[in-house]
């Protein structure tokens, strides 16, 4: 059985998140998702939605077998208990695949790293949490 791991903040779920998770699930037999702790989100604006609520929402998606909160200390800590065969990255996640693969090997993990495709945005949908927030502010101001 091939265990796939996807990670992300998943603030204000949108079709881009669903696309990422569907493509991740297609890489194996079981999809585990790590939802980032607010304290670990330092590469973009902090999440609007509380972390436990984000985990619950991701876990409710049919393609997800299990959703867990990440570590407060290290992105690598949960991998010891999850033991993924494949780690997927979203098309816009800031990690470099080769650097991550090397870091995983250095820490004793044998997981492969796969970057999934992005979803083309249409006029009828918004595929960015920051754009959703901008639209809410614009329409509610």
Sequence ranges of the binding site for ATP: 9-10, 14-17, 92
| Helices and strands of the chain, counted as H and E runs | 5, 5
If one counts every other C-beta atom within 10 angstroms of the C-beta of residue 103, the result is 15
User: Widest CA span of the chain, in angstroms?
Assistant: 51
- Nearest partner of 70 among 55, 57, 85, 58, judged by Cα: 55
Per the annotation, binding residues are 9-10, 14-17, 92
Spatial contact of 15 and 111, defined as CB atoms under 8 Å apart = no
């Amino acid at each position: 059985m091939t265990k796939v791991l996807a990670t992300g903040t998943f603030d204000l779920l949108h079709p881009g998140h669903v696309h990422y998770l569907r493509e991740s699930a297609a890489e194996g037999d079981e999809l585990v998702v790590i939802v980032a702790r607010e304290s670990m989100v330092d590469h973009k604006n902090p999440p609007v939605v509380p972390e436990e609520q984000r985990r619950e929402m991701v876990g409710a998606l049919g393609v997800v077998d299990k959703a867990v909160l990440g570590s407060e200390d290290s992105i690598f800590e949960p991998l010891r208990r999850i033991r993924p065969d494949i780690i997927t990255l979203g098309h816009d996640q800031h990690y470099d695949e080769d650097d991550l693969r090397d870091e995983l090997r250095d820490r004793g993990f044998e997981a492969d790293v796969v970057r999934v495709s992005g979803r083309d945005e249409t006029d009828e949908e918004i595929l960015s949490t920051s754009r959703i927030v901008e639209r809410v502010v614009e329409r509610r101001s």
